[in-house]
Amino acid sequence: MLFKRKNSHYWWYKFTDLSGNTVRQSAKTTDKRKAQELADKHKAQLWDQIKLGHKPQYLWEDSVVKWINEAQKNSIADDICMFRYLDPSLSDMTLDQISRDQVEKIIAQKLKLASLGRVNRITALNRAVLRKTEREWSWGWIDKAPAIRRLKVKR
């Protein structure tokens, strides 16, 4: 069902999925036809997840936002700085598209600019996020996190 709220010029949609949960969300568009298309697509995606067992596709940005929101550490500012470095390489990629080759390219780029220790911290954060998406977040956002190597640092 499409509707408009008093305080919004965007269309909103509302429906009940197969599990009995009510979904109410903004379509973030003023075009009624596009809003209906978005609502139908969302409904079909939920049906695929519930009836066919398909996993939803999550973007790298989704995992970064969730990581930052859940983080209970003093060094979150450092994480944000490292995420800013990773963003141009990984933005708009789904988590299952991130491969070891992709991470190796990031390592090669960063080695031109930073020390081995800094590169290891960035790859460790990347690995931690991907492992958390695999092992902890709601049935695993991905099936298998890629193996990410660490560089040997001379002491």
Number of domains in the chain: 2
Which residues are 16's β-sheet partners? Answer: 22
* 44 & 70 share domain: no
Angle at CA 105, nearest 5°, toward 134 and 130?
Answer: 10
SS3 110: helix
Q: How sure is the predictor about 124, in pLDDT bands with cuts at 50, 70 and 90?
A: very high
Token pair 């190796």: residue: 104
> Do both 18 and 64 map to the same domain?
no
pLDDT digits (tens, 9 = 90+) for 37-96: 999 998 998 888 778 877 778 889 999 999 999 988 888 999 999 999 888 888 888 888
Report if residue 73 sits inside a domain.
yes
Residue 53 per-residue DSSP state: -
Q: Tell me the pTM.
A: 0.67
Residue span of the structural domain in which 72 resides: 60-135
Q: Is 131 within 8 Å of 145 (Cβ atoms)?
A: yes
